Amino acid sequence: MKIGVLKTDDVRPQLVAEFGEYPEMFAALLKREDDALEFVTYEVQHGEYPADIDEVDAYLITGSKTGVYDDQPWIAPLMEFVRELRRREKPTLGICFGHQIIAHALGGEARKSENGWGVGVHSYEVQETPAWMVEPQPQFSLLVSHQDQVVALPPETKVIASSDFCPYAMLQVGGHMLTMQAHPEFTKPYSKGLMELRKEVFGEDMVEKGKESLHNDIHESAVARWMLAFLKSAA
Structure confidence at residue 122 (pLDDT): 98
Answer for the pair 98, 179: CB distance below 8 angstroms, yes or no: yes
- b (16+ CB within 10 A) / e for 135-174: eeeeebbbbbbbbbbbbebbeebebbbbbebbbbbbbbbe
Structure confidence at residue 70 (pLDDT): 96
Domains present along the chain, CATH in parentheses:
2-234 (3.40.50.880)
Structure confidence at residue 38 (pLDDT): 98
Confidence band, pLDDT 50/70/90 cuts, at residue 205: very high
Q: Percent of the chain scored above 70 by pLDDT?
A: 100
- The burial class, CB within 10 Å (0-12 / 13-18 / 19+), for 101 is buried
Structure confidence at residue 172 (pLDDT): 98
pLDDT tens-place string over residues 3-59: 999 999 999 999 999 999 999 999 999 999 999 999 999 999 999 999 999 999 999
Please compute the mean of the pLDDT values over residues 154-168 and round it to a whole number: 98
- The burial class, CB within 10 Å (0-12 / 13-18 / 19+), for 212 is exposed
- As annotated, the active-site residues are 96, 183, 185
Average confidence score pLDDT of the chain: 97
Please compute the mean of the pLDDT values over residues 197-224 and round it to a whole number: 96
Structure confidence at residue 233 (pLDDT): 97
pLDDT tens-place string over residues 73-94: 999 999 999 999 999 999 999 9
